[in-house]
Amino acid sequence: MRQPRILITGFSVFPGAPVNPTEHLIHALRSNPADLADLGELRTEILPVEYAAVPAILERLGADFAPDIAIHFGLSAKATGFTLERLARNEIARGKPDNAGVEPPATSIVNGAAHLPSTLPLQDIASELASAGLPVAWSDDAGGYLCNYLFYLSRSPSLPGFAPPVSGFVHVPPAKSAEPDNPHALALEDLVRGATTITRTTARAWASPVLA
């Protein structure tokens, strides 16, 4: 059986977040590619926090890489640990301009279902993170900004060529280096350890008879 093609994404900084730990996560994964090389072909991507750019990047990744698994990470100031998002909502909130100054009206993302579920093996991920001593939380609301936007597009059949059967979103707390007094902030090494655990657990599930 072939190994999966795995896409892992993070975001750049954005208004109100001068440090985005998911950007540093992607740099860390790129600097040590051997840590996940045994799982399959790996692609990492730092996405701009821009509504207009994200769909085109996903379409390019679909055409160039065709991931079997897409694991998306984003920052949430409210996160208390690795927050496993269960549902993507087909909604953009008002009042949150992106890095290009674009503030879309409150609207649906695309014509489609109101909600789409994550297809990551969330319960297995939660168990493995807890076993590793890492904080875990659950959420049914990925927000109304670029995180939810990406999550919904990744799960939607609306983008030509980008259709990973296993896809989902994980919010993480702020970086310990940026918010040392935040009790929920994560050190980079713990963020990398958690992302590695999530990726390994997902790849293992993909190879199982249920997801293969």
Active site members: 85, 147, 171
Q: Which residue has the tokens 């100031």?
A: 77
How far apart CA 130 and CA 132 sit, in angstroms, is: 5
Nearest by Cα to 64 from 5, 141, 8 = 5
Strand, helix or coil at 92?
Answer: strand
- How buried is 33 (Cβ within 10 angstroms: 0-12 exposed, 13-18 middle, 19+ buried)? exposed
Give yes or no for a contact between 169 and 118, defined as CB atoms under 8 angstroms apart: yes
Q: Distance between terminal CA atoms of the chain?
A: 9
β-pairing, 87-89 vs 115-117, is antiparallel
Type of residue at 13 = V
**Token output for 61:** 């990744």
E strand or H helix that includes residue 11: strand 5-11
